[in-house]
């Protein structure tokens, strides 16, 4: 379809969301760039190679309690009425002796159990033991936590703070991780200004919002200057950032006279999908130029955010070898009806109220894709599938959180 035909036809035929996303991901290839990073800088990074424990943790038999290291056989028959008496020593534990230990300290040679301090009484250099122990009691064996050679994490695992603590515990100081995927964010529009808008002008927010989402999702954003609605300038902007893993534009993705970015991308590459059956934000487009995925987000702020979650987030995770985890979800009862058109997936913004016995979700808007405050003041959205005509008041629904944190 040529450009004039596309504008005439509008979006009479829209691609199903799942199919559009699949087309984009099929055109995305994970990069293979890696870098060594200290553990303190590895949080949220994807491992580029398997992590295996290089040593035992703990690397020695350790006391699990404050008390005295003993030979278990020396405690047999001990009781509150008839304690066994041992001699206190500082070195190795020999028959008939005991050595003071603290939780986590090394168990001396010769000892095979630890009697808790509250089950003893010290009398000078002698120790009365009131508890009979089994071999190994109150002792953490070498390798009890992690054995040398144990596989810890596979390549592609996204490191969490607890993972970093585990790696440090086995003596790892640096890891090989994939570089963060590089994403060029290009805001477009004749009407955009950085500050002090006049009549017909608006402050640029979409590019800033998207660039921050990229960082939260594990990417590295290059937030570009505004590009006006000029085909040559748009082409130059896209081509100059093809060294990035993903190029994302905001605005100019519909079928109006000034919506030029899909045509530009189709001229220098291929538009895979233009027009998706979702609301808000059906004018989204995705394509590829010289093997670089290009995501063309609508200019209305809410539509921009919705489509960033639906397209930019998964493709960023794909190229960066990062796992795409489900968004945080909470069930709630609707306080009002949410309408939807069959065949379209609707994202209805809601505000959660968890103060009562059961959480409730109050729809703030199902339309109005230009109302940015409806995102900032909502807690998430309810996704209405293509197969149904909305939800009724009182229905139990799943509220997907914004996942503002990565």
Q: What residue numbers bound the domain in which 50 lies?
A: 34-56+147-178
Give the DSSP H/E element, type plus range, for residue 23.
helix 17-26
- Between CA 359 and CA 367 the distance in angstroms is 23
25 & 116 share domain: no
pLDDT tens digits, one per residue of 310-338:
999 999 999 999 988 888 899 999 999 99
Q: Looking at the domain assignment, is residue 200 inside a domain?
A: yes
**Number of domains observed in the structure of the chain:** 4
Same domain, 298 and 336: no
Residue 406 lies in a domain: no
Q: What is the pLDDT of residues 42-78, one digit of tens each?
A: 999 999 999 999 998 888 999 999 999 999 999 999 9
> How far apart are the two ends of the chain, measured CA to CA in Å?
39
Please tell me the chain's helix, strand, coil percentages from 3-state DSSP, rounded to the nearest 5.
20, 30, 45
Q: Are residues 121 and 240 in the same domain?
A: no
Question: Looking at the structure, do residues 243 and 183 belong to the same domain, yes or no?
Answer: yes
Q: Are residues 207 and 84 part of one domain?
A: no
The answer to whether position 189 is within a domain reads: yes
- The answer to whether the beta carbons of residues 255 and 300 sit under 8 Å apart is no
Domain boundary among 320, 339, 363: 320
Examine the domain organization and report whether 100 and 42 are in the same domain.
Answer: no
Q: Which CATH number characterizes residue 341's domain?
A: 2.40.340.10
Same domain as 130, residue 68 = yes
pTM summary value:
0.82
pLDDT > 90 in the chain, percent = 84
> Does residue 339 share a domain with residue 372?
yes
Nearest one of 208, 295, 206 to 244, comparing CA atoms: 295
The Cα 345–Cα 209 span in angstroms is 23
Q: Is the dihedral of CA 351, 390, 279, 295 positive or negative?
A: positive
Does residue 153 belong to any structural domain of this protein? yes
Same domain flag for 305 and 334: no
3-state secondary structure (DSSP) of residue 21 = helix
Give Cα separations from 53 to 47, 50, 172, 363 (angstroms): 15, 10, 8, 50
Pick from 54, 68, 42, 210: which is nearest to 143 by CA?
54
Question: Which CATH number is 168's domain given?
Answer: 3.90.105.10
Q: Does one domain contain both 342 and 360?
A: yes
Give the C-alpha separation, 112 to 134, whole Å.
9
Residues 265, 303, single domain; the answer is: yes
Full pLDDT tens readout for the chain, 406 residues: 455 555 545 666 899 999 999 999 999 999 999 999 999 999 999 999 999 999 988 889 999 999 999 999 999 999 999 999 999 999 899 999 999 999 999 999 999 999 999 999 999 999 999 999 999 999 999 988 899 999 999 999 999 999 999 999 899 999 999 999 999 999 999 999 999 999 999 999 999 999 999 999 999 999 999 999 999 999 999 999 999 999 999 999 988 888 999 999 999 999 999 999 999 999 999 999 999 999 999 999 999 999 999 999 999 999 999 988 888 899 999 999 999 999 999 999 999 999 989 999 999 865 555 556 667 778 889 999 999 999 999 999 999 987 654 3
* CB atoms near residue 103 (< 10 Å): 13
Residues 249 and 292 grouped into a single domain? yes
């Amino acid at each position: 379809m040529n450009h004039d035909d596309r504008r005439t036809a509008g979006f009479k035929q829209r691609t199903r969301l799942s199919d559009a996303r699949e087309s984009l991901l099929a055109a995305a290839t994970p990069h293979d760039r890696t870098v060594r990073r200290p553990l303190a800088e590895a949080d949220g990074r994807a491992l580029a190679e398997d992590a295996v424990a290089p040593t035992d943790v703990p690397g020695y038999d350790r006391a699990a309690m404050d008390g005295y290291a003993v030979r278990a056989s020396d405690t047999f028959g001990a009781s509150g009425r008839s304690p066994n008496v041992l001699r206190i020593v500082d070195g190795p534990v020999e028959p008939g002796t005991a050595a003071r230990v603290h939780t986590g300290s090394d168990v001396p040679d010769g000892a095979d159990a630890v009697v808790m301090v509250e089950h003893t009484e010290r009398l000078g250099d002698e120790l009365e033991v009131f508890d009979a122990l089994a071999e190994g009691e109150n002792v953490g064996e070498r390798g009890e936590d992690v054995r040398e050679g144990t596989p810890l994490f596979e390549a592609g695992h996204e490191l969490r703070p607890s993972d970093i603590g585990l790696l440090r515990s086995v003596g790892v100081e640096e890891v090989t991780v994939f570089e963060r995927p590089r994403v060029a964010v290009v805001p477009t529009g004749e009407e955009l200004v950085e500050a002090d808008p006049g009549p017909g002008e608006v402050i640029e927010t979409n590019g800033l919002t998207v660039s921050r989402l990229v960082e939260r999702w594990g990417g590295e954003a290059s937030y570009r200057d505004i590009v006006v609605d000029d085909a040559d300038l748009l082409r130059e902007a896209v081509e100059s950032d093809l060294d990035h893993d993903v190029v994302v534009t905001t605005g100019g993705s519909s079928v109006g006279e000034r919506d030029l970015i899909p045509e530009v991308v189709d001229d220098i590459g291929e538009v895979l999908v233009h027009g998706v059956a979702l609301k808000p934000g059906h004018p989204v487009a995705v394509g590829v130029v010289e093997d670089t995925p290009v995501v063309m987000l609508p200019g209305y702020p809410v539509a921009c955010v919705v489509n960033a979650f639906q397209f930019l987030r998964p493709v960023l995770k794909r190229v960066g070898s990062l796992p795409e985890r489900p968004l945080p979800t909470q069930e709630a009862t609707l306080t009002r009806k949410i309408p939807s058109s069959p065949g379209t997936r609707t994202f209805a913004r809601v505000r959660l109220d968890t103060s009562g016995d059961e959480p409730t979700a109050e729809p703030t808007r199902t339309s109005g894709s230009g109302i940015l405050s409806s995102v900032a003041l909502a807690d998430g959205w309810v996704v209405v599938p293509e197969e149904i005509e909305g939800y009724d008041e009182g229905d139990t629904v799943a509220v997907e959180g914004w996942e503002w944190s990565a």
